[in-house]
Amino acid sequence: MAARLVQNVEQEQFELYVGDDLAAFADYVDMTETRNFSHTVTYPRFQDQGLATELIRYALDVTRRQGLKIVPSCSFVAEFIEGHGEYRDLVA
């Protein structure tokens, strides 16, 4: 089953759904020109499937298109960027 990725602006989070189930989300706080990613969660039954990686890639691509820099306060986001050099330019 394909994942559905969305930005929930009201909740300030990116969300990944598998079917109708919220499988993972990444919280953020927007500041003037930056987006601080503070927390990433994958629910237990969806772990070890690469969903958080897919979610963060999507979140960073959307953030880039929106013209924002990021603050990777979340350790998962920081580690993702460390391993994916094409996103290092987004770090404020």
End-to-end CA distance of the chain: 35
Residue 79 has pLDDT above 90, yes or no: yes
Q: What is the mean pLDDT of the chain?
A: 97
Confidence of residue 2 (pLDDT cuts 50, 70, 90): confident
How confident is the model over 37-76, as pLDDT tens digits? 999 999 999 999 999 999 999 999 999 999 999 999 999 9
Q: Which CATH number fits domain 3-46+53-90: 3.20.20.450, 3.40.630.30, 3.40.640.10, 3.40.50.2000?
A: 3.40.630.30
- DSSP E strands in the chain: the ranges are 3-8, 13-18, 21-30, 34-42, 69-72
What is the value of pTM for the model shown? 0.95
The predicted pLDDT at position 1 comes to 61
Residue for token digits 């998962």?
76
